[in-house]
Structure 1
Amino acid sequence: MRTDLTAALLFFASSIRTAVAGNVTALGGTWTSKSDTVVTGPDFYDPVGERFLEPRLPGTSFSFTNDGYFEEAIYTVVGNPTKPECPTALIIWQHGTYTLYDNGSMVLFPYESDGRKLWSDPCNSKTSIYTRYNQTELYRSWEIVLDDYRGQYRLNLFKFDGAPMNPLYLTYNPPQMLPTTTINPIQSATPTSTTAAKIKRSLMGLQASLPDATTNLDFWWYTAAGMTLVGGVGWYFV
């Protein structure tokens, strides 16, 4: 089913009509959100120890090489207005290849077996859920401008429906990335277990082997991806 969704994204990308921006610099480099605490590479995710290194503040980071590879790191925290002591947190990492299309769109194609996701809901569960993650992403358009206020190059990404993401700023060039090849190849990247392993909440202590995702998690992945294609749902990351 994910193959079908990827094909649909490619068709959607090829049908977009938008002007290509006159960018002031190349895409290659590491780009971070204004918190400047989430950065791709070994300071965010340790693929050997199977652990995330929790940043001080939420944020987003993308790295690109000029020959078609990308890496993505996201840390989001959602507050609970009725119970301020009960925020939820989501950490995502994936990498792979990307393609820029003549119509100005960009599609990220992650390596199926390498992506990781950690979901934490401390008031409802004593353990966090750590699973594989694989999400092909379509950006309707993108542009690089010089931010006059910060004096840095700024990457503006626009989601599939044209909505802008929070701006990203060039932090490293060359980019700070983990190896651009598949890091954890497996014979079949499709999860088969129906039970998600529960990992202790300490983000610095994730030493257990990688569990497979649950059937319910796959269901919600398919649901979200399907709604994305019809313009029903969009994420807005920090």
Structure 2
Amino acid sequence: MFIISYIYILLSIFIIPILADPSMEELEGTWTSKSNTVFTGPGFYDPIDELLIEPDLPGISYSFTADGHYEEALYRVVSNAKNHSCPIASITYQHGTYEIVSNGSVILTPIAVDGRQLLSDPCNQDNPNESQYSRYVQPTFFKTYQKFVDPYHGRWTLQIYQFDGSKMQPLYLAYQPPLMLPTYALNPTDSASETASTLRNSNSNSKRSIKNKLKRSLENSYRTNAIKKNYFEDSKFDNYWWGSVICLGLISSFVFLKN
């Protein structure tokens, strides 16, 4: 009973605070899946030429800012059980704003004019060698999420639960601050549909101005202040780690003396 009490105290001090009180500061950063090849930012989508850049391997990435902006980069491949030569692949880019509601759910609202998708469905297209490039908009609802340190990989981990409560593949912190494209509308065409954007003018001068801003942004993309993160570089976690070691040491000593 005494040991159980110690374990509960350990969890209360070092683990529970990581999972409690969801906030935008908690989500801040660029998160990527296990393949570690898909990241948001200019390496995934070129907004000047409106090009989606295919990563080496499938995977997903989400970036969040502390002031309510997000970006998503998805590269998904779905196999065909009946015909293995007919996989469906999609590359999707969206960005916009997000909010965390009181119950911990997360709502992503994309900028409608900026979403893009490249879809390859070789067995259901007129030309199997061509992919379909189109505008894409899909608001997203996450039921909840957890942020914790994965004891196996030793990295900050974001476990997202989708709208139906099912687990999304875990995401690992890759950059902080996040690696992202500008958060305003990148390719405005219709002022009525530029949600969450302050750039409402769609005339040619405005478009040229935006293109110039984007060009400068992409030229500076590799001078980003986003820093690659890993488990042991986080000073906050370092405190959790050594505190846990001390508590476990005390518990072991108590058990040894008792026996």
Same fold by TM-score greater than 0.5 = yes
Equivalent residue number for residue 73 of structure 2: 73
Report the counterpart of residue 22 of structure 1 in structure 2.
20
2:133 to 113, 130, 148: 130
Counterpart pick for 1:163 among 154, 161, 166 = 166
Q: Residue 200 of structure 1 aligns with which residue?
A: none
- Once the two structures are TM-superposed, the CA of residue 129 in structure 1 deviates from its matched residue by 1.2
Residue 57 of structure 1, CA deviation: 0.9
Equivalent pair of 1:113/1:189 in contact (CA under 8 Å): no
Higher helix share: 2
1:112–1:189 Cα contact (<8 Å) kept? no
Q: Which runs of 4+ in 1 moved over 6 A?
A: none
Aligned equivalents of 1:46, 1:182: Cα separation in 2: 13
Match of 1:49 in 2: 49
SS in 1 for 2:145: strand
Distance 1:124 1:157 in 2: 32
Tell me by how many angstroms 1:91 deviates.
1.0
> Contact (CA 8 Å) 1:72, 1:95: kept in 2 or not?
yes
Aligned to 1:40: 40
Shift of 1:69: 0.3
Quote how far apart the aligned CAs of 1:189 are: 7.1
- 1:150 maps to a residue whose letter is H
1:68-147 equivalences under 5 Å are: 68-125=68-125, 126=127, 127-147=130-150
**C-alpha distance in structure 1 between counterparts of 2:27 and 2:146, whole Å:** 9
Larger relative contact order (CA 8 Å, sep ≥ 6): 1
Please identify the structure whose Cα radius of gyration is greater.
2
Q: In the alignment, residue 91 of structure 1 is paired with which amino acid?
A: I
Unaligned runs of 5+ in 2: 1-17, 194-259
Overall identity of the aligned pairs, in %: 51
| Aligned residues between the structures | 171
Q: 102-111 or 124-133: which moved more?
A: 124-133
**Contact map agreement 1:145 1:154 (CA 8 A) in 2:** yes
Check if 1:149 corresponds to 2:161: no
Partner-residue secondary structure (3-state), 1:179: coil
- Distance in structure 2 (CA, Å) of the matches to 1:23 and 1:144: 11
AA paired with 1:36?
Answer: N
Say if 1:23 and 1:144, in contact at 8 Å, map to a contact too: no
| Deviation of the 1:188 alpha carbon | 6.0
The residue type equivalent to 2:54 in the other structure is E
C-alpha deviation, 1:78, in angstroms: 1.4
2:182: which partner in 1? Answer: 179
Shift of 1:23: 6.6
1:21-56 per-position Cα deviation (integer Å, ceiling 9, x unaligned): 427972100000001111101111111111111111
Check conservation: 2:37, 2:56, Cα contact below 8 A: yes
Across the aligned residues of Structure 1 and Structure 2, the Cα RMSD in angstroms comes to 2.0
Deviation at 1:83, TM superposition (A): 3.0
CA displacement at 1:85 relative to structure 2? 2.6
Q: Which runs of 5 or more residues in structure 1 are unaligned?
A: 1-19, 191-238
